[in-house]
Chains A and B, each alone.
Chain A
Amino acid sequence: MIEVQHLSKHYGDKKAVNDISFRAEDGEILGFLGPNGAGKSTTMNILTGYISSTSGKALIDGVDILEEPLKAKSKIGYLPELPPLYLDMTVKEYLNFVYDLKKCKLPRNSHLKDICSLVKIEHVYNRIIKNLSKGYKQRVGLAQALVGNPNVLILDEPTVGLDPKQIIEIRTLIKKLGRNHTVILSSHILSEVQAVCDKIIVINEGKIVADDTEDNLSRKLSSDHKLTVRIEGDRDKALKLIKDIKDVVSTDIGPGKEENITEFRIEAKEGKDIRRELFISCAEAGFIILEMRSSELSLEDIFLRLTMGDGLHDNDGGED
């Protein structure tokens, strides 16, 4: 479990992290989402004790990282943005070094073997790290974080520089690890966080702009009253029909590829559900509805709206 209370880090006048608070429970994967320079890495560096916070507390399984650093650090596995690899060592030497460094008590050979098979680096085990590809270096970095089987895993942009196949492998691995570890994962790739995390924190300019599960975020920001509908039949007649429905505010015609099928984007008054009426009207008039969906915002949209200061976090998406 990780608990962060009012954490701040100032560099001179610049506030890299500004009063951040959040919690991650056991067996939870927390996604840290934000543009480059938002303060993700700084927060992670504070959590792992690499740098100190200006004010605030960070508790790892209830242990304060500043007060009992050695005890707290032994509970953490950390993969920094750039994997901290000694390039002149072999993977074997390096992992054995980390094993000694962390004063690990698990049986050495079987433990390291398990980790290697988990991140799939067995066949480069005796090679010098300098000669490995970026993807393998990243995996060795992940392996290093897993040594000692720590409760808490902190991964700073774990899939950067990997090819699509490796990205999927690493994501699957992180999901698997998330079942019995607390994982904090940072990324500026929205689909990644969407795919892996149970809970998402959006951070920008050192502040949390949203803290919720992805579903809740979408619900908060989504607009049930906006519909996208694909209808087969005469376009103008259909348009007139839709406009006649009560509570419809505006109707746009979207891009259409198929003949005789039109995509409409309908906006109703806020809080009004017009789906039933729309269905009945179309059915009576002989139009066939091929598709109807409410235009929910994707994480991309949420992210942009939150960080671009769309005014949204002033009323409902703010720091909760």
Chain B
Amino acid sequence: MGAIFRRETLSYFTSPIGYIFLAAFYAFSAFSFTTTSLQYGTTRMDGMFQQLMVILIVLIPILTMRTLSEEKKNKTDQCLLTAPVSLGGIVAGKFLAALLIYIMGVAITVVYAVVIAAFASPDWNVIVGNIVGLTLLGAAFIAIGIFCSSLTENQVVSAVISFITMVALYMFSTIGQVIPDDFIEDLMPNLGPVWRTVIIELIVAALVLGCFFLFGKKAGILIIGFIAAIILGVFAAKGELIPKIFDKLSFNERYVGFTLGLFDLSNALYFISTVVVFLFLTVRVLEKRRWA
């Protein structure tokens, strides 16, 4: 893992990608900082931190697009996969390298805070919370980007897929607001609650079966999946669950809390578990490729 981390970090600076990412990040954040904090003469920085989320959606795919797709294309993955390193080690090494470059970008916000402090003392707790939130958000985006990069040999395709995924996650909160609470009833007005539950159970069961075939036929996935499906289905039939799920999954909703200075542990855990889930999925994709 250490070897891969070191090589990957260096490779960001032997190719232009590391420089482009950092330069773009510094430029956009500086612009945002000037227009939202300096020009308004305020010590609040939440405007910049909120805008940075949108900037990340554009920049993170550039950072992660080549991590695994390039290896596959140049067949250098043969070197990694036949070396005595675990798949988890390979993915973790690549993730940490991208994270390091990202943190080098985020570090600039400390400079902005110091600039503000020259005028008036800002609320340091809020700023620390903001930086932690931005780092966690970026980590989750990087994990998604790496996962997308494992799906294809083509860098551009990888960047586009991760861009679309991130935009979707960003828009989840809006989608959640659009969906009315009783939309399931509207969808199937002529059916009683029992039938609605059955239909939803069937849909969820089909999804579980899909996962079962996709991620190696393991009985564990099937059992846990079906138990989750039954519980989910019962709640979903009541209606208000679906908009709620969108709301809970929304990156925007989770991140805004940080920018307002609210450090909610569940939000932090949400981003951390996103990282874990997507890195795990990446390992599964690599594993599956060996068996194909």
Cβ–Cβ contact A97 & B7, under 8 A: yes
In the complex, what's the smallest C-beta–C-beta distance from B77 to chain A, in angstroms? 7
Given contact pairs A52-B290, A85-B76, A88-B15, A100 touches B2 in the complex (Cβ within 8 A) = yes
Cβ–Cβ contact B84 & A86, under 8 A: no
- Interface membership of B4, Cβ < 8 A: yes
Given contact pairs A48-B82, A101-B85, A102-B84, A84 touches B77 in the complex (Cβ within 8 A) = yes
Chain B residues positioned under 8 Å from A218 (CB to CB): none
A289-313 interface code vs B (CB 8 A; 1 in, 0 out): 0000000000000000000000000
Chain B residues positioned under 8 Å from A85 (CB to CB): 74, 76
Cβ contact of A82, chosen from B10, B75, B81, cutoff 8 A: B75
Taking CB as reference atom, which chain B residue is nearest A51?
Answer: B290
- Interface membership of B14, Cβ < 8 A: yes
In the complex, what's the smallest C-beta–C-beta distance from A86 to chain B, in angstroms? 6
Given contact pairs A70-B86, A74-B84, A101 touches B78 in the complex (Cβ within 8 A) = no
In the complex, what's the smallest C-beta–C-beta distance from B71 to chain A, in angstroms? 9
- Interface membership of B217, Cβ < 8 A: no
Count residues of chain A with CB under 8 A from any CB of chain B: 30
- Interface membership of A78, Cβ < 8 A: yes
In the complex, what's the smallest C-beta–C-beta distance from B235 to chain A, in angstroms? 40
Cβ–Cβ contact B84 & A103, under 8 A: yes
Chain A residues positioned under 8 Å from B76 (CB to CB): 84-86
Cβ contact of B7, chosen from A52, A73, A86, A103, cutoff 8 A: A86
Chain B residues positioned under 8 Å from A50 (CB to CB): 78, 81-82, 290
- Interface membership of A124, Cβ < 8 A: no
B50-83 interface code vs A (CB 8 A; 1 in, 0 out): 0000000000000000000000001111111111
Provide the bound-state CA to CA distance between A297 and B156, in Å: 54
In the complex, what's the smallest C-beta–C-beta distance from A85 to chain B, in angstroms? 7
Chain A residues positioned under 8 Å from B85 (CB to CB): 70, 101
- Interface membership of A138, Cβ < 8 A: no
Provide the bound-state CA to CA distance between A102 and B7, in Å: 14
Provide the bound-state CA to CA distance between A78 and B80, in Å: 11
Within 8 A of B (CB), among A34-93: 45, 48-52, 69-71, 73-74, 76, 78, 80, 82, 84-89, 93
Cβ–Cβ contact A70 & B7, under 8 A: no
Cβ–Cβ contact B291 & A49, under 8 A: no
Given contact pairs A82-B75, A89-B14, A49 touches B7 in the complex (Cβ within 8 A) = no
In the complex, what's the smallest C-beta–C-beta distance from A38 to chain B, in angstroms? 19
Chain A residues positioned under 8 Å from B4 (CB to CB): 101
Within 8 A of A (CB), among B12-30: 14-15
Cβ–Cβ contact A86 & B11, under 8 A: yes
Cβ contact of B78, chosen from A70, A80, A88, A98, cutoff 8 A: A80
Given contact pairs A51-B290, A82-B75, A88 touches B11 in the complex (Cβ within 8 A) = yes
Taking CB as reference atom, which chain A residue is nearest B15?
Answer: A88
Given contact pairs A50-B290, A84-B76, A85-B76, A101 touches B83 in the complex (Cβ within 8 A) = yes
In the complex, what's the smallest C-beta–C-beta distance from A15 to chain B, in angstroms? 15
Provide the bound-state CA to CA distance between A218 and B153, in Å: 46
Cβ contact of B74, chosen from A49, A87, A103, cutoff 8 A: A87
- Interface membership of A144, Cβ < 8 A: yes
In the complex, what's the smallest C-beta–C-beta distance from B283 to chain A, in angstroms? 14
- Interface membership of B3, Cβ < 8 A: yes
Given contact pairs A50-B78, A101-B3, A101-B4, A88 touches B14 in the complex (Cβ within 8 A) = yes
Chain B residues positioned under 8 Å from A49 (CB to CB): 81-82
In the complex, what's the smallest C-beta–C-beta distance from A31 to chain B, in angstroms? 21
Provide the bound-state CA to CA distance between A11 and B289, in Å: 12
Q: Which of A48, A49, A101 has the most CB of B within 10 A?
A: A101
Cβ–Cβ contact B75 & A100, under 8 A: no
Chain B residues positioned under 8 Å from A144 (CB to CB): 79
Cβ–Cβ contact A84 & B11, under 8 A: no
Within 8 A of B (CB), among A12-30: none
Provide the bound-state CA to CA distance between A100 and B83, in Å: 10
Cβ–Cβ contact A78 & B84, under 8 A: no
Chain A residues positioned under 8 Å from B80 (CB to CB): 101
In the complex, what's the smallest C-beta–C-beta distance from B198 to chain A, in angstroms? 36
Chain A residues positioned under 8 Å from B2 (CB to CB): 100
Taking CB as reference atom, which chain A residue is nearest B87?
Answer: A69
Cβ contact of A52, chosen from B3, B6, B79, B291, cutoff 8 A: B291
Taking CB as reference atom, which chain A residue is nearest B80?
Answer: A101
Provide the bound-state CA to CA distance between A11 and B78, in Å: 19
| Chain A residues within 8 Å of B, Cβ to Cβ | 11, 45, 48-52, 69-71, 73-74, 76, 78, 80, 82, 84-89, 93, 97-98, 100-103, 144
Knowing that A69-B84, A100-B3 touch, tell me 15 more A-B residue pairs with CB under 8 angstroms: A50-B78, A50-B82, A51-B291, A52-B290, A52-B291, A70-B84, A71-B84, A76-B82, A97-B3, A98-B83, A100-B2, A100-B6, A102-B84, A103-B84, A144-B79
Among all A-B residue pairs, the 3 with the closest Cβ atoms: A100-B3, A84-B79, A74-B84
